[in-house]
Amino acid sequence: MITTLHVLSIGSPDEGGLVRDVLVLRTRCRLYVATSTWDLSIVLGCEEIDVAILHNKSLRELRVFAAHIRRRWPDAKILLVQEKGETEDCGMYDERIASCASPETLLAAIERLGASARRARRPVLNTGYSQQGSREGRRRWSSVTRPSPNA
């Protein structure tokens, strides 16, 4: 079964277009593009991201974006697209490929990291109630978990 791959590309619009062109080769994919931390704050409302791609970031920028990603989507994998440099051994990304890599190499890295993110995603416990739940559901749940003060 092919699942939808959720990809976030952080960089210039041209770099986002490159990722879009590569993902055309994949049948089910949803791409989000952010060019700044402001754009990223808008994307933070997305339910899930499997792979976040950071393009040519300084060490400072990488720290900021990686912290946002790890906080909001702890199971997401970070792919850094850039040549070796000061960010080489910083440990803030899961995989790095050269910015001159072929589209096939980029797609393979995205799919590999996406599969890894989906395996790492924690299963959600189904309690039979929505997260908000109805009043009746909350009442039943609280009566089961807390003893009555009159008991």
> CA–CA separation, 51 vs 106, rounded Å?
12
Domain ranges (residues) in the chain: 5-120
The type of residue at 72 is R
R_g of the chain, CA atoms, integer Å: 20
Task: 16-22: list long-range contacts, CB under 8 Å, 24+ apart.
Answer: 18/103, 18/106, 19/53, 19/106, 19/110, 21/103, 22/103, 22/106, 22/107, 22/110
Structure pTM? Answer: 0.73
The per-residue pLDDT for range 93-140, each reduced to its tens digit, is 899 998 888 888 988 999 999 988 888 775 554 444 444 444 444 333
The per-residue pLDDT for range 17-35, each reduced to its tens digit, is 888 888 887 778 888 888 8
- Give domain 5-120's CATH superfamily: Response regulator (3.40.50.2300)
